[in-house]
Each structure stands twice: as C-alpha cells, then as structure tokens.
Amino acid sequence: MSDTGSIRNTQGRGRLFDSVLDTIGDTPAIRVNNIGPDHVTMYVKAEAFNPGASVKDRLAINIIEAAERDGRLKPGQTVVEATSGNTGIGLAMVCAQKGYPLVITMSEAFSVERRKLMRMLGAKVVLTPKADKAMGMYRKAQELAQANGWFLAHQFETADNADIHAATTAREILADFDGQRLDYFVSGYGTGGTVTGVARVLRAARPDTRIVLSEPADAQLIASGRDQQRNADGEADESHPAFAPHPIQGWTPDFIPLVLQETIDQGFYDELLPVSGADGVKWARDLAAKEGILTGISGGASFAVAVQVAERAAPGSVILAMLPDTGERYLSTPLFDGVTEEMDDEERAISASTPGFRVS
C-alpha cells in the first residue's frame, strides 16, 4: 500500500508494439528527492528506460533507418562501427531485428560486459589495442568498411545523430516541462549528438534554459581552445593534443567529433564545467543507494555537474541532468569497486542473529 492508502495500478500503454524498436524513446524525467541541495528541484532523464538501456538506442535506429531510406544501406549489407559500447549495443539490437550483420570495433580498455552484450545480440566484436585509444578503433572500422564494402555508421560525423535528438529527446523534454520551469539542462558528450540535438530545440523553444556542458577533468578538449584536425570529410585524422585517458566511459573520445563541432561553433552551451571520474563514481553510487536510480559513471558525472550548478543556482531553480545509461554496464569498472560477491561483516552478523540457514 502507498502512503495514501491506495494500491498502485497500471493500465498499459494503450497500444501494441510491432517490434522492440518501436519502444525506443519516451524515457522519463524523474525527480531526485533525497540528495542534492534543498533550495532547488532536480530531475534526471533516465535513458536506461530505452530497450537497449542507453541513450544510444536513439541514434542507432535513426542511422540505420535514414540509410535505408536514402539507399546508403542495402538489404543484407554488413554494418560496421567503432564504439565504446553503448552505440554498439544499440546497433546490435537494431541490426538483429532488421537482419543486418554487424561488426563492432572497440578498444580493449572498455568494460567486458559491453562486449558480451553485443555478442549476445549477434554482433561480432573486434578489439583494438588500448594504447591506440578511441582513434585506433575508429580507424579500424574505417579500414574494415573500405576493404569489405561494408556500411560505416559514422556516428561521430553523421547528421542523423543529432537529428534524432532534436526530433525525440528534445521534444520529450519540452513536453515533460510544458508549463513548468526548466532553468538548466546538463549533459556531457561522447559523439555530441545529445547536446547538439537538444540544444537546437531548446535554444528556440526555451531560450531562458541555460545549457551546461561537461567534459572529464582529465580530458578537457573543448576547454583547451585547440581545434580538432580533420580531413575533407570532417573525420578526425589525429588524436586531440589535450586528451588524456579518463574513467568516464562513453564520454569524450580522444578527438572532437564533427557532430559536437556544431555545438561549439553555434555556441549551444552557456557554461562548460569539468568533472572528475571520482565524482562521477561517487554520485552514481549515491543515486543508486539513496534514490534507487541505477546509472553508469557517465550518468554520475552528469549529475555531479548538476549538483555543482544547483549549489549556486537561485532558490526554486529546476535542473535536468542526462543519465545516458544503466549501471549494470559497469560491473567490471571502478564503479563497483568494493561491492563484493560474498557477505560483508554486517551481513554475516545479520545471518548469525538467527540460528538457521546460515552459510559457513
């Protein structure tokens, strides 16, 4: 029973779905009640509610369907892409449903659960050396596409990336906060698709909403002020000199993606704040333990920045932070350090408090 004495009930969504792909999007904005400053209201947009459990489901479906529409992707053609994991999982789900073979290139530095999820969904995963960073997996995907005539998804360059966030993510935010305050929108970046697509719409529809962008303290590519070197197709052709390895998987590869360049060139953010991996871990753990919201290090990092913003925001301010994915994608990372499989001392004491069914 709830506090009001009524039983929670559900009535269904009022429709049947033709495939899992039709369930992408319409993720909830959830109020944060137990952590953060008291003088503001904080929400998180929980992208783990997508069927592939991350925001990258959106770009995956749009890249494939846009390429189908204009003939760039042929029936049965193999799709190839470089990814830290979430885009690969989204593409694997889409390609499984639509019948396209998929090859993913991924640095061996990223979490093993991501590899397993992609393989479970039918993809082939080709690992690249950790020392070659994101640029190594990126170039490997290019090589494979050119050598085999495969369709390269181009998540870092394609207009289909930001377009889907303008058409869905941003519209969901407008609908959810219709008639309500929304003073700040907080996001990090991987490809830059989320912030670019959302900012296009918010700048026009909610110009008073301040857009706060974040990047890892160890890899402040935008803050460095140094341009990204690109080839004639807009592809990054070398690692950015300001990059250093960082623990926020899914954020900030070792180059500035072309999709993000629109945000930089158009001034789509009002403030740029760095965040440490340690703060990302800390706030992801707090969201889990104190709010019941399971997110990854990237989500924790977004929320950490949102808390920074909240601490100095005017009373009554409303802040929305993007949570890109689920914490289950990080079981082998520092996010779960100290979370053991065996009982700890307190758990053993609880077990010992009654005589039966005790594990020795």
CB neighbours of residue 275 within 10 Å: 26
Structure-token pair, residue 327: 């914490």
- CA 102/CA 94 separation, integer angstroms: 10
In 3D space, the residue among 148, 200, 175 whose CA is nearest the CA of residue 45 turns out to be: 175
- DSSP secondary structure of 176-189: HTTTS---EEEE--
Collapsed DSSP state (helix, strand, coil) of residue 16: coil
End-to-end CA distance of the chain: 37
In 3D space, the residue among 5, 49, 2 whose CA is nearest the CA of residue 324 turns out to be: 49
Active-site residue among 187, 298, 302, 317? 298
The answer to whether 45 is a known catalytic residue is no
In 3D space, the residue among 8, 152, 137, 10 whose CA is nearest the CA of residue 67 turns out to be: 152
Q: Any residues with CB less than 8 A from the CB of 233 and at least 6 apart, and which?
A: 157
Collapsed DSSP state (helix, strand, coil) of residue 81: strand
Structure-token pair, residue 106: 């991924």
Q: Residue 82: what residue type?
A: A
In 3D space, the residue among 270, 252, 251, 323 whose CA is nearest the CA of residue 294 turns out to be: 323
Q: Give one word for 192, left, alpha or beta, with left for phi > 0 and alpha for psi -120 to 50.
A: left
Active-site residue among 45, 56, 133, 140? 56
- CA 54/CA 87 separation, integer angstroms: 8
Phi, psi (deg, nearest 5) at residue 310: -65, -40
The answer to whether 298 is a known catalytic residue is yes
Query: Which positions are annotated as active-site residues?
Result: 56, 298
